[in-house]
Structure 1
């Protein structure tokens, strides 16, 4: 069976709410959890099929008045993915939240720690009450946590963004090293490293974009029955996500700047090489003309025996070349001005 954590209802404090307001954490690597999802969860067949398949992209959608998001998030242990990403799906409606995963996820474990801290704080508050009241309070707290569905949802999102913040700082430090290397020493940087950083940023940004859109739906969608207090929590989490999106956009801008500078440096080097080749060609052009002119076979040229015949033919070729150059130059100028 999956871990079912009763939560506080956002509608009232009626004790009957504990039977329908809960957090269900499903670990599909366990056969019992898999059996519960397919036969006892009361979810539609299409939804169950979606929850069982592997995540290929990060996305979210509305489903019968609820929100379903599929993410690639950071797990507890490194995976073959460069960011250590594993599958996580979250199904949330007004009265319950269901998390579906195949591997341990840091955000889920930290949320459990958060709920346990709430329970321990509550028991500490009652430490001065009579012993029978203490025992009664402990029984109630083990049955139902004081956190609501929206609290658990936002805490999971905050844990995800906190980890993304650490990843962002690491990538920012790597980019700063490349910037210092380029500006201080003039050394070229590894273009493949920049490409890898850009790829990691884009993957991380996709996670945050889905979270931002999901929070927006929870805030704005009237069918989800979100009250004023819940909206405040959602807006705070949304601001946290937007902040990290802005940070990632800033990292992309820094990478673009480095790549543009490197491309400009490469273009300058190519322009300098072209300029040097042009100078060499200009120096050798008259020599090539003279060697070609004096080395050609003039046996078949008219007026070969005339002392002015050679110079007449040569002058005619030079005039023809100059006329073609003037004609083409003026034609190109007219085309340029026409544009």
Structure 2
């Protein structure tokens, strides 16, 4: 049965009214270089290769790793989520994206995959804001980090700077002539940077042969990153203490004005919060991975060792916080000493000018009978004497007010001593009475003295 055009339009309008409207997917394109993406495929035999960004899982013994580096800018958390949506959707859904980019600790299964994160809140541009999240399946791992994580990637062997025989950048001279050196030349700032590293370079990383090895590698690099920050803080505190020992008034005043140590203390609290997140998440990761058949037992032991490292790192950060507090307390005491010294100078000046002000006040009074003047009016000849007596009375009253608390404390102490002496004598008499009553009864009621 054919329908007219009007009835068809009416039915279409009813259907469209009954069905909810859904906006089409809009995949926003971001500038190149905003989000760094790296993809690797491992053959399970100790070899790895770069691959395309297709988010596909491995086959057989192969497994894949996809890593996203979010920019360390002043973007909002929603903007970071938009970056991940553009990089991982599809095949990942919005639920997966939110579980990776949200702040706070988390470990659980999302859409059949194990997801854990230790994202700390704070400005993304700060060096003390860390975010590392991972989505793990049997044949693939997807990780998200804020900025570059040291030692997270892999590079061909034989390209490590630490395997070279170095020479320092500063030239040495012998009798005015420069000596020739062999080997690679390391600049001074590069050497200082290497001293803050508690790990080797990416060229020395063993290539994982399973997904469990890769998870241990990711957690290990995260702990190493935190350890690097702690080592850098220790070196900075050592240099600051050396400057304070050698520096003078200007340096200490500058440190107090810049609020340097309160800022370091705030950064330490952020670092402690991040370590606390790791202490909550990584034991749960170990517990959930121990039930997986593809997770090796030696990797479970490795995770246990990393958790122990994290706890020791927390104690070390606590020691650094105590050092910062001690240095700040020393600066505060120095500042209080400077203020007391200035007050001492002001008190010394007041001591000098106080007699002069008293003399000018006494002889500047508008009363009669002031000595060494011509005020001989008999009606007001006793005015100066009366005013001086009034001043002496007021002075005596003020001194009495100051002396009264001390006098009261002496009287109270004397009363307490008398009460204690009286109570002690009563206790002594009662004690003697209790001890001598049986002896008196034995002797027939008489006490021989």
- With the length of structure 1 as denominator, give the TM-score of the two structures: 0.65
Q: In structure 2, how many angstroms separate the alpha carbons of the residues matched to 1:20 and 1:281?
A: 89
Identify the match of residue 287 of structure 1 among 349, 356, 381. 356
Identify the match of residue 313 of structure 1 among 387, 391, 402. 387
32 and 257 in structure 1: CA distance in 2 versus 1, 3 angstrom threshold: closer
Q: 1:273: which partner in 2?
A: 342
SS in 2 for 1:99: strand
Q: 2:68: which partner in 1?
A: 27
**Which segment drifts farther, 60-69 or 262-271?**
60-69
Query: Are 2:198 and 1:147 equivalent residues in the alignment?
Result: no
Q: In structure 1, how many angstroms separate the alpha carbons of the residues matched to 2:400 and 2:224?
A: 69
Assess if the C-alpha contact under 8 Å between 1:72 and 1:85 holds in 2: yes
Q: 2:304: which partner in 1?
A: 235
1:179-328 mapped onto 2 (5 Å cutoff): 179-184=241-246, 186=248, 188-189=251-252, 190-191=254-255, 192=258, 193-219=260-286, 221=287, 225=291, 229-298=298-367, 305=379, 307-327=381-401
- Listed as ranges, the gaps of 5+ residues in structure 2 are 1-36, 45-57, 71-81, 158-201, 371-376, 413-449
CA drift of 1:315 comes to: 1.2
**Which segment drifts farther, 81-90 or 205-214?**
81-90
115 and 146 in structure 1: CA distance in 2 versus 1, 3 angstrom threshold: farther
Query: Are 2:99 and 1:99 equivalent residues in the alignment?
Result: no
Q: 1:11: which partner in 2?
A: none
Q: In structure 2, how many angstroms separate the alpha carbons of the residues matched to 1:331 and 1:160?
A: 64
Q: 1:76: which partner in 2?
A: none
185 and 101 in structure 1: CA distance in 2 versus 1, 3 angstrom threshold: closer
SS in 2 for 1:91: strand
Q: 1:62: which partner in 2?
A: 107
- Listed as ranges, the gaps of 5+ residues in structure 1 are 9-16, 74-78, 120-144
Q: 1:89: which partner in 2?
A: 133
Would you tell me which structure has more helix in proportion to its own residues? 1
307 and 198 in structure 1: CA distance in 2 versus 1, 3 angstrom threshold: same
CA drift of 1:35 comes to: 6.2
Identify the match of residue 90 of structure 2 among 14, 39, 49. 39
Assess if the C-alpha contact under 8 Å between 1:60 and 1:210 holds in 2: yes
Q: In structure 2, how many angstroms separate the alpha carbons of the residues matched to 1:28 and 1:181?
A: 37
317 and 208 in structure 1: CA distance in 2 versus 1, 3 angstrom threshold: same
Question: Bigger relative contact order, structure 1 or 2, given CA contacts below 8 A and separation 6+?
Answer: 1
Q: In structure 2, how many angstroms separate the alpha carbons of the residues matched to 1:47 and 1:313?
A: 91
**Which segment drifts farther, 194-203 or 178-187?**
194-203
304 and 47 in structure 1: CA distance in 2 versus 1, 3 angstrom threshold: farther
Assess if the C-alpha contact under 8 Å between 1:194 and 1:255 holds in 2: yes
SS in 2 for 1:98: strand
Q: In structure 2, how many angstroms separate the alpha carbons of the residues matched to 1:305 and 1:32?
A: 99
CA deviation profile, 1:125-183 (whole Å, cap 9, x unmatched): xxxxxxxxxxxxxxxxxxxx63343x322211222332333333333222112212223
CA deviation profile, 1:241-267 (whole Å, cap 9, x unmatched): 223333332222222221111111111
Q: 1:12: which partner in 2?
A: none
Assess if the C-alpha contact under 8 Å between 2:149 and 2:222 holds in 1: no
Q: In structure 1, how many angstroms separate the alpha carbons of the residues matched to 2:274 and 2:155?
A: 19
CA deviation profile, 1:215-258 (whole Å, cap 9, x unmatched): 23234x56972786444221111122223333332222222221
Assess if the C-alpha contact under 8 Å between 1:60 and 1:214 holds in 2: yes
Which protein is bigger by CA-based radius of gyration?
Answer: 2
Query: Are 2:225 and 1:156 equivalent residues in the alignment?
Result: no
Q: 1:126: which partner in 2?
A: none
Q: In structure 1, how many angstroms separate the alpha carbons of the residues matched to 2:83 and 2:361?
A: 91
SS in 2 for 1:108: coil
Q: In structure 2, how many angstroms separate the alpha carbons of the residues matched to 1:72 and 1:249?
A: 18
Assess if the C-alpha contact under 8 Å between 1:304 and 1:310 holds in 2: no
